[in-house]
Amino acid sequence: MKVYLILTQIVYVIFLLPWLVFWGLSFMSFDNGIGVANTSFVLAITAYPIAVVACSLIAWFIHKRKKKTAVIVNLIPMLWVLGLGSLLLL
């Protein structure tokens, strides 16, 4: 269990570098004006490091008592990783 948590969190840290580039570029969505869709897009991208830290802390706190819940909580930031990974592959 500890190895799984460590490996997935290493993946999350590696994806912080391309995330920073996409986060900076996401502000170009405001070039045509400020709207709900633009703001939601930037906030969704901005939430990645917050989700990584929050989910990692929660997973480490509950990994001894509830192993399956810890795995599920630790996989939440994987949604951003898969989205960014698919963009990088295309």
What is residue 60's predicted lDDT score, i.e. its pLDDT? 94
Evaluate if residue 89 carries a pLDDT over 90. Answer: no
Distances (CA, A) of 88 to 7, 19, 62: 21, 11, 33
* pLDDT tens by residue, 12-57: 999 899 889 989 999 999 998 899 989 998 998 999 999 999 999 9
Measured at the alpha carbon of residue 85, what is the angle toward residues 79 and 90, in degrees to the nearest 5?
Answer: 130
What is residue 90's predicted lDDT score, i.e. its pLDDT? 73
Residue with tokens 């819940």: 69
What is residue 2's predicted lDDT score, i.e. its pLDDT? 86
State the Cα–Cα distance between residues 43 and 58, nearest whole angstrom.
22
